[in-house]
Amino acid sequence: MGEWKISGFREVRELGAGAQGRVVLAQHEETGFPVAVKYVALGADPAPLEALRREAEMLARVESPHVARLYRLVESEHGAAIVMEAVDGVSLKVVLAEHGRLEPHAALTVLKGSLLGLAAAHAAGVVHRDYKPANVVVPEDGRSKLIDFGIASAAGSASRSGTPSYMAPEQWQAGEAGPSADVYAATCVFYECVMGRRPFGADSVVGLRGQHLTAPVPLGDFPEPLRPLVARGLAKSPAERHAGALDFVAELESVARTAYGDDWEGRGIRALATTAAGLSMLFPLVAAGISAPAGTTAAGAGAAAGAGGAGAGGAGGAGTAGTVATGAGKTSAGFLAKASVAKAALVVAGATAAGTVSVVAYETTRPEAAQEPQITLASLNQTYGDRVLKVQGGQYARVKGMKKASVQTAANKALRVPLDQAIRFYKEWGKTAAARAACGGRMNLLGTSVVKGLSGPDLVSVRYVPKFQRSCGKGPGYFPGFGVTVDLRTGRALTADDIFKPASFGEAGMTRLWDGIPEGPDKRQMMRGYSGSGGFFNPFNREAFFQNSRRPESPPWALPFFGKRQFDLVYTGLDVGPDSGGLDLSHTSAYDFAIPYGRVKDLFKPELVARLPVS
């Protein structure tokens, strides 16, 4: 390959090298943004280039904060390269070599983070096939990241590829490698984290094959509360394991909470962060004297990095690469990252050091253009022709600075919906001719103020608090909340089904949600309002989080809101009049219950929890 390099990036140091190429830490020349670049040489054998294209294809399908992000695939007549997020962290392999083992709650945290990365891959139809400690990076914040999709494949592909100490029985037999094969490998690594040794440790490949195929799982010294996780994860038959990583995460959280308390994950993250910090001189960016970009962690590329730093691999991009133009004028087929996302334009990267032209065959979020979306406020002032309502100072949120105009348009449409719901709801007061006649020359007035919760990088949660001045008419006696959480990757508003696990809508889950509400007068009022001859009944259920068809003018009675430090549950206020017991049940605004994330986040889907702040 010689000294071929992609243009626009300055090489800082080599992280690793092998027979087919090398991995380097580099910086974008204009901005200094750090990246990891994985190079392969071009020769008579087309296999290395095809492998790199396949890796880029697998990476481009996957989007998760627990998987390193792909930025570009670049090809020229002298070589090819993929440019990825540069992760400042240390591999789990180095952590275990230094410390021997991890405390169980820290091991569970590593397992959960990398399982969430695997879950994102599985959702995109990708099987990693080489999950091992060297391919898990622990950055300074303690949140593990999955790297190196060099031998990843489409789910269902048959192959013996993998690392022998972590290969599932079906991989040894060249059977189909599905998501449960990754579950098996992750369980092997979890066992190693807890015990300081691998579950099967024969000295030869033949011996390892026999143990993985037939030997019982050695659970005698393993912590008893965690044995069911390992027994199922290392089942010889794929049908007896979890079907995928998300199923495994759901059981993991339940077991961890029972064994180590509701705050197990926070303690695990803190323990991992402390462990990683002790090895910070091995971090690639720290060793190179480079500051990590604000709001990011670094993640690297396929070969193991020198000095124990992060290797390279990465994912997260979405888009479609078109035909690849090379310096010789040839073409090769591009790959499909996501069919639902518009094709990414080809971008000429410029002359290389060797004097040839390289072309960006695929490009997603550019590191040199990385920026957070901005949440701004807009206002609406409108008088309706039928004089039902006048909107005066109706604030609502908007987002700008997004890289995809179509997604920004969709996000802004979703952010406007709660204001439209409030307008429709408060029009009810003056909808009759009699009510409007009673107003005389006056009108009911509605304004709204915006409460911002999460504001990026990929979720924005807002509430609109109504300010209603009634001049005439009578309302329905209940007062809902108005708000929305928008996924900035797609522009779509999240529904309760996107937020909660299906099982959470059951009696046990909704009871946990009720129990999570802090004690106080609002909770007591609500309990009194939902007490009858049969006693108190829990107002939380699946239907409460969806539009009530009997009240088309009203948004859902229960509204999830994600704050920067806590979860807020907004619930419809009820004006049922004063209670004979002396407790005033008249409530002319929605209840707002602030709940620490640690108390209820196990009710949420794991892929959502991965995007929330640590409680």
Active site residues per annotation:
130
For the chain, what's the residue count?
615
Question: Can you tell me the distance from the alpha carbon of 94 to that of 137, in angstroms, rounded to the nearest whole number?
Answer: 9
How far is the C-alpha of 479 from the C-alpha of 230, rounded, in Å? 49
Beta bridge partners of 586: 575
How many CB atoms lie under 10 A from the CB of residue 390? 19
Q: What are the two backbone dihedrals, phi and then psi, of residue 312, each rounded to the nearest 5 degrees?
A: -115, 150
User: Which distant-in-sequence residues (6+ apart) come within 8 Å of 520 by Cβ?
Assistant: none
Element of type H or E holding 591: strand 591-596
Question: What gap in Å lies between CA 385 and CA 131, rounded to an integer?
Answer: 63
Q: CA 198: distance to chain centroid?
A: 29
Q: In what order do the strands lie in the sheet with 492-493?
A: 374-383, 390-400, 445-455, 459-469, 482-487, 492-493
Which conformational region is residue 451 in: left (phi greater than 0), alpha (psi within -120 to 50 degrees), or beta?
beta
Residues 6+ apart with CB under 8 A from 441: none
Residue 69 · residue 86 · CB < 8 Å: no
Instruction: Give the integer Cα–Cα distance in Å for 400 and 451.
Output: 18
Give every CB contact of residue 347 below 8 A, 6+ residues apart in sequence: 359, 360, 363
Give a three-class secondary structure readout of 307-371.
Answer: HHECCECCCCCCCECCCEECCCCCEECCCECCCCCCECCCEEEEECCCCCEEEEEEECCCHHHCC
Give CA–CA dist 137/157, Å, rounded: 26
Question: In 3-state terms, what secondary structure has residue 516?
Answer: helix
